[in-house]
A and B are shown apart, each in its own frame.
Chain A
Amino acid sequence: MAPKLIRSLALMAMFFMPIQASAVLKVEITGGSDSALPIAIVPFGAEGIKAPEDITSIIRNDLESTGRFAPLDNQDLVSRPTEQSQVNFADWRLLRSEGLVIGKISSQDGENYQVQFQLFDVYRGQQLAGKRYQVPASGLRALGHQIADVIYETLTGEKGIFSTRLAFVTQITAGDGKKRFALQISDADGANPRTVLQSTQPIMSPSWGPDGNQLAYVSFENGKTEVFVQQLQSGQRKSVASFEGINSAPAWSPDGKKLALTLSRNGNPEIYVMELANGDLIRVTNNAQAIDTEAVWSRDGNEIYFTSDRGGRPQIYKVSANGGRAERISFEGNYNASPDLSPDGSKLAMVHGANGGFYIAVQDLKTGAMQVLTDSGRAESPSFAPNGQMILYATEQKGSGVLAAVSVDGRIHQRLSESGTVVREPAWSPLKK
């Protein structure tokens, strides 16, 4: 008995011998740094010319603006190669820069420019991306954004949005104390703004057509709300809704053929869908006691998210684009409005009222979980970036409306315009087709 016991104990001892004794050291890295990715962007070599646009800065600012890249300061650059042969990767490794961007710009006539760039993986000494372009001087800025898009997409796996545009409403108070309103569009970085409509009356709710070439908006230019559709290339515009009462909250269907609108032509604000080709209307909501507004199409165009106070306070609901029974979507708090659907249709950004403030929040449509992304308490008009990573919104700074953006996870915040001009109701364009 005793030997048996010893034997079994010995066996057990063998069985329970610690496994890690022979195992490789295992280390688990969780979380990591949320800090920006270090990247070296070497000023492009300009061979004996002075380019009208600082492409390197455009690229650098674009990447930096996302909060996801930390370009090295120019004075920290160990060298300034413009060609691969000049690159000593070991130097860049010492700087712990994961990416290296070099490029050249040249022009024969000062009119047309040849631009080339290369993106390297510093630790492997490999080129990750590289392109050559030829553009007129006027296209240099756009090219800068385009290169930033390539770099962004290469290093993050997501579509770059630097070549997209923003639409927004500005308001200035003239010397006479009168206000001037403008509908403007700009590059995605807020730079290069151009006015597409100017008015002494308020302008509201710009909405991009899915092709990125037209805008719908609300103008008070005739003393009351009226919905217009404007072609951006030609500047041609058309009033599409000028009914009694409210004509507002235009939203393009995904196929660009329809416009959802809020009309109170029958005495109460309701959601309608207008066939743009002939102006035919379909009434989607029917709730005489409630405000139904701010339509947003689902990605398949079959459903419409909207704001309604039918429950007493504004909340987000969803209804078939053909009308019918609405389903409540938002439940957090007692004020949720201004929905915008993410490009992949999985999230709903909204204005969330709480504690007397208004915040940008995002609700996961699968789980229903809502996350508040901003903390200023003065946020409104959320609009998803076309890659779904950022949400552009309007807020207030020093009494002035400004544009800001927040990453969908709430970690990255950026400001897109400086205070001075009141800027509001931003709308991010779709990706260029």
Chain B
Amino acid sequence: MNRYKFSALLIALFLLNACSGNATKDGTDDVLVEERNGASTSGVTGQGADGSDLGAEASVIVGEDGYAGSELNDPSNPLSNRVIYFDYDSASVRPQDQPIVEAHAAYLGKNPNLTVRLEGHTDERGSREYNLALGERRALSIRQLLMLQGASAQQFRVTSFGEERPAVDGSDESAWSQNRRVEIIYIGR
């Protein structure tokens, strides 16, 4: 046991050292998560590129009901951003995504007839069932923020798909970072 722990610690230190060079968001967030929980500082992730700027490329997803307001389709409008991305194993909205969440909150607040489905997703790594719960946690995290900023509880349906419906197939950080997300899907008035 001790030997395992010791080697785990060594590996962790090695990884932290390796990560510090490219200062990935994942790595940073991972450490933050651990600090929050007071657990060991070893990193589970630490591989892959910075996924923070990939969100802009996410395609617009239109709900099955086919609703698409003009604001939502205006690429210059923040509402056209309806995918919030997350760091690995995190349900915290990143600061740069806060304006998007605020915009949606304001929009939902102005349009109380609108209903959205919040779909939580994770990347493929780790336990599928855990990821299912993590996806839900992300969706609930967004719902919480939206409600704090003007939306009401009745406007939401929350669903988690875990890792089952990745936005991008692939087993690299590029794919994973696009898959760790909550999709805000307007489903109608």
Chain A residues proximal to chain B, CB less than 8 Å: 202, 204-205, 220, 223-225, 245-246, 248-249, 262, 264, 267, 269, 291, 293-294, 307, 309, 311-314, 331-335, 337-338, 351, 353-356, 358, 368-370, 378, 380-381, 396, 399, 424-425
- Total inter-chain residue pairs, C-beta < 8 Å: 124
Residues of B within 8 A of A223 (CB): 159
Query: In the complex, which residue of chain B has the Cβ closest to the Cβ of A309?
Result: B130
Q: Given the known A-B contacts A223-B159, A399-B171, are A354 and B137 also in contact in the complex, defined by CB atoms under 8 Å?
A: no
Indicate if the CB atoms of B127 and A370 lie closer than 8 Å: no
5 additional A-B pairs beyond A333-B42, A351-B127, A380-B126, beta carbons within 8 Å, are: A224-B159, A264-B136, A294-B130, A313-B37, A358-B125
Which residues of A lie under 8 Å from residue B128 when comparing CB positions? 204-205, 338, 380-381, 424-425
A to B CB contacts below 8 Å, 15 in the list: A202-B161, A204-B162, A248-B133, A249-B129, A264-B136, A307-B130, A312-B36, A313-B33, A334-B44, A338-B129, A356-B43, A370-B1, A380-B128, A399-B170, A424-B128
B171 touches A396 (CB 8 A): yes
**Size band of the interface chain B makes with A:** 35 or more
Establish whether residues A312 and B132, one from each chain, have CB atoms under 8 Å apart when the complex forms. no
B58 within 8 A of A: no
Which residues between 124 and 172 of chain B lie within 8 Å of chain A, taking CB atoms? 125-130, 132-134, 136-137, 140, 158-162, 164-165, 169-171
Q: Is B38 on the interface with A (CB-CB < 8 A)?
A: yes
Of the candidates B38, B127, B136, the one whose C-beta lies within 8 Å of that of A314 is B127
B49 contacts the other chain (Cβ, under 8 Å)? no
A246 close to B8 (CB less than 8 A): no
Question: CA separation between A396 and B89, bound complex, in Å?
Answer: 21
Q: 8 nearest interchain CB pairs?
A: A312-B37, A202-B164, A337-B127, A291-B133, A269-B133, A312-B39, A338-B127, A249-B129
Complex partner residue of B133 from A262, A312, A381, A399, CB under 8 angstroms: A262
Question: In the complex, which residues of chain B have a beta carbon less than 8 angstroms from the beta carbon of A224?
Answer: 159
Chain B neighbourhood of A333, CB < 8 A: 4, 8, 42
A313 to chain B, nearest CB (A): 5
A334 and B112 alpha carbons, distance in the complex (Å): 43
Question: Contacting B44 at CB < 8 Å: which of A293, A331, A353?
Answer: A353
Minimal beta-carbon separation of B7 from chain A (angstroms): 9
**B55-87 interface bits toward A, Cβ cutoff 8 Å, 1 = contact, 0 = none:** 000000000000000000000000000000000
Closest B residue to A378 by beta carbon equals B171
Residues of B within 8 A of A314 (CB): 126-127, 130
A351-B140 Cα distance, complex, nearest whole Å: 26
Contacting pair B130 A293 (CB below 8 A): yes
Residues of B within 8 A of A269 (CB): 133, 136
Q: In the complex, what residue of chain A is closest to B48 when comparing beta carbons?
A: A356
B92 on the interface (CB 8 Å rule)? Answer: no
Q: How far is the CA of A358 from the CA of B130 in the complex (A)?
A: 14
- Nearest B residue (CB) for A371: B4
Instruction: Give the residues in chain A near B111, CB-CB below 8 Å.
Output: none
**Which residues of chain A are within 8 angstroms of B45 by Cβ–Cβ distance?**
356
Tell me the complex Cα distance, A29–B137, Å.
Answer: 57
A291 in contact with B130 (CB, 8 Å): yes
The residue in B1, B42, B129 that gathers the most chain A C-beta atoms within 10 A of its C-beta is B129
Contact of B34 among A248, A334, A381, A425 (CB under 8 A): A334
B15 contacts the other chain (CB 8 A): yes
Asked if A370 and B4 sit within 8 Å, CB to CB, the answer is yes
Partner of A353, one of B4, B126, B132, B165: B126
> How many Å lie between the Cα of A307 and that of B127 in the bound state?
10
Separation of A314 and B126 alpha carbons in the complex (Å): 10
Q: Does B46 contact A (CB under 8 A)?
A: yes
Contact A202–B165 (Cβ < 8 Å): yes
Closest to B38 in A: A312
Q: Which residues from chain B contact A351 at a C-beta distance below 8 Å? A: 126-127
Complex Cα distance A267/B133, Å?
11
User: Is B134 a contact of A291 with CB atoms below 8 Å?
Assistant: yes
Please tell me if B40 contacts chain A, counting CB pairs below 8 Å.
yes
Name the interface residues of B22-57: CB closer than 8 Å to any CB of A: 33-34, 36-40, 42-47
